[in-house]
Amino acid sequence: MALWSGRFSDRPDDLVMQLSESVSYDKRLYAQDIRGTKAHVSMLARQGIVSQDDADAICHGLDAIQKEIEAGEFTFDIELEDVHMNIESALIRRLGDIGARVHAGRSRNDQVATDMRLYLREEAANVRTLIRGVQRALVGVGERYKDAIMPGFTHLQYAQPVLLAHHVLAYVEMLERDHQRIGECAARMNSLPLGSGALAGSSLPLDRESVAKDLGFSSVSQNSMDAVSDRDFMVEMLADLSLLMMHMSRLSEDLIFWVSQACGFIQLGDQFCTGSSLMPQKKNPDICELTRGKTGRVYGSLVGLFTVMKGLPLCYNRDMQEDKEGLFDALDTARLVLATYAPMLDTLQANEERMLACASDPMLMATDLAEWLVADGMPFRQAHERVGKLVGWSQANNVPLDQIPLDQMQELIPEARQECLALFDPSRSVHARDLVGGTAPAQVHAQLASWRQIFDSE
């Protein structure tokens, strides 16, 4: 059985078959294809379109085919183009005309749309589980170093003292939004396309709602043309994966900087680093760098699918065969990155003394002085200007801010008092930011406990 039989008198050129086949990559959908086919044929039996005996034989045959595939004993044939026709052809070889009844009331168009939704529902759950693993590892870092103070950065320059735990919890928040987005994407795609046919539905008395129930779909599609021709659910998944990888890439960049000799804030376990082919002393954070690089690969898959879909008229067009490889690759990439990252973070060791020393530069507390003046009644812009002049005098005279005599400080900031000299302390600085979302230990410890409670309740 080949797709070029019947209407065509000549078999396709070998190069055409190479260009047309998708089974080399869509064979990963075999389990979803078999599951959807079993639900479809069971409905056909309930509706009297096939006999119950034939439906039972078909389901048993499909189970046998699935076992062959999983045992590595099944041969996929590119002349049959895709996973759907390979499985159906194998069924017909086993059962003859009984197997040929399985395709009544469906097209490969609604079949593949169903298979992809079934597949992505499962993959969404897998990715969300892996995201949780990275979140747990980040919270673990925060718990191990819950009071460690480090310099926070803007423009890659020292800005203000923060807790290391506060910094890593920022990524927990980002990943939580990724976790939510992927779950919402899975919920939106959970509408059954099967029964839409090639584009117009079917004249057979199909019970689409019962198939949806059997396959765990929350609804059935309301427009057959939309159901078979759109791939927005796949675009959305790629967009969500791209955002996820963007966050993982940013985390990677922070870790790459922190582990550098110039920074020296952390060390990562040897099993998650590599050496140099030339320089024996090197210990490179290659996992982080690969994550940063692979992010572009996921972006490329998103742009690729956008480009495939942007000019297509309704309904199905063969261009849409190009919807899968990039998505499969993006899912594989994201899953591997997440799976590797969680155990790598478990090996993270922080150099607390080094971080605190860098956070103790009194320049990082210049904002504390400005805010003290604001609390004392000065408009912020005036306070900002006065402290800026004090910083300029400090640098010009090579006198650290915390060592400027009070009388000299008062020449530039007449409102300064003795207590201002005590503001240049990183511990005091982080404790002062005791509001929701701030870096104060009380706030950060509460957030760590909250996340741990969430994880433990799942």
7 located within any domain: no
Enumerate long-range contacts of 50-54, CB under 8 Å, 24 or more apart. Answer: 50/101, 50/104, 54/98, 54/101
Question: Same domain for 245 and 150?
Answer: yes
Q: How much is the pLDDT for 2?
A: 46
**Shared-domain flag, residues 338 and 397:** no
Asked whether residue 7 carries a pLDDT value surpassing 80, the answer given is no
Same domain, residue pair 89 and 141: no
pLDDT tens digits, 141-185: 999 999 999 999 999 999 999 999 999 999 999 999 999 999 999
Q: Which pLDDT belongs to residue 358?
A: 98
The domain boundary residue, chosen from 331, 357, 383: 357
Q: Are 148 and 359 in contact (CB under 8 A)?
A: no
pLDDT of residue 13: 82
Same domain, yes or no: 315 and 413 = no
For residues 290 and 432, state if they share a domain: no
Q: Is residue 374 within 8 Å of residue 383, measured between CB atoms?
A: yes
Q: Does residue 325 surpass a pLDDT of 60?
A: yes
Q: Is the pLDDT of residue 401 over 60?
A: yes
pLDDT: which is higher, 3 or 453: 453
> Do residues 267 and 383 share a domain?
no
CA distances for 273 relative to 141, 246, 262, angstroms: 18, 21, 18
**What mean pLDDT do residues 237-262 have?**
98
CATH number at residue 41: 1.10.275.10
**For 334-349, how does the pLDDT look when each residue is reduced to its tens digit (9 = 90+)?**
999 999 999 999 999 9
At 14 the pLDDT is 83
| Domain closes at, from 104, 119, 145 | 104
Give the integer Cα–Cα distance in Å for 441 and 433. Answer: 9
Tell whether 157 and 89 lie within a shared domain: no
Q: How far is CA 13 from CA 1, 20, 27, 152, in A?
A: 17, 11, 23, 63
Inform me whether the pLDDT recorded for 429 exceeds 80.
yes
- Examine the residue annotation and report whether 224 is marked as an active-site residue of this protein: no
303 with 327, same domain: the answer is yes
H or E element that contains 158:
strand 157-163
Give mean pLDDT, residues 382-396: 97
Average pLDDT in the 320-339 region?
98
User: Is 134 within 8 Å of 169 (Cβ atoms)?
Assistant: no
CATH number of the domain enclosing 430 = 1.10.40.30
Q: What is the CA radius of gyration of the chain?
A: 30
pTM of the predicted protein model:
0.95
Q: Look up the CATH number of the domain holding residue 226.
A: 1.20.200.10
Amino acid at 23: V
Q: Which of 357, 375, 406 is the last residue of a domain?
A: 357
Residue 5 lies in a domain: no
* One domain for residues 196 and 308: yes
Do 239 and 153 share a domain, yes or no? yes
pLDDT at 355 over 60: yes
In a domain, 380, yes or no: yes
Question: Is 1 inside a domain boundary?
Answer: no
Does 423 reside within a domain?
yes
Q: Are residues 246 and 292 in the same domain?
A: yes
Question: Over 70: is that where the pLDDT of 9 sits?
Answer: no
pLDDT at 302: 98
Q: Considering 5, 155, 203, 277, which one is annotated as catalytic?
A: 155
Which pLDDT does position 3 carry in this prediction? Answer: 53
Write down the pLDDT at residue 8: 64
Longest dimension (CA), the chain: 101
Specify if 2 maps to a domain. Answer: no
Domain carrying residue 391: 360-457
| 385 and 418 housed in the same domain | yes
How confident is residue 352, by pLDDT bands cut at 50, 70 and 90? very high
> Residue 338: what residue type?
L
The answer to whether residue 83 sits within a structural domain is yes
Domain count, the chain: 3
Q: Write down the mean pLDDT value for the chain.
A: 96
Decide if pLDDT at 427 tops 70.
yes
In this structure, is residue 187 part of a structural domain?
A: yes
In this prediction, residue 17 carries a pLDDT of 82
The catalytically annotated residue of 24, 51, 218, 276 is: 276
431 is catalytic: no
**Per mean pLDDT, which range of 14-23, 56-65, 219-228 is the poorest?**
14-23
Angle among Cα 80, 84, 87 to the nearest 5 degrees reads 80
**Dihedral angle computed from the Cα positions of residues 127, 133, 137 and 143, in that order, rounded to the nearest 10 degrees:** 120
183-209, pLDDT tens digit by residue? 999 999 999 999 999 999 999 999 999
pLDDT in tens, 48-60: 999 999 999 999 9
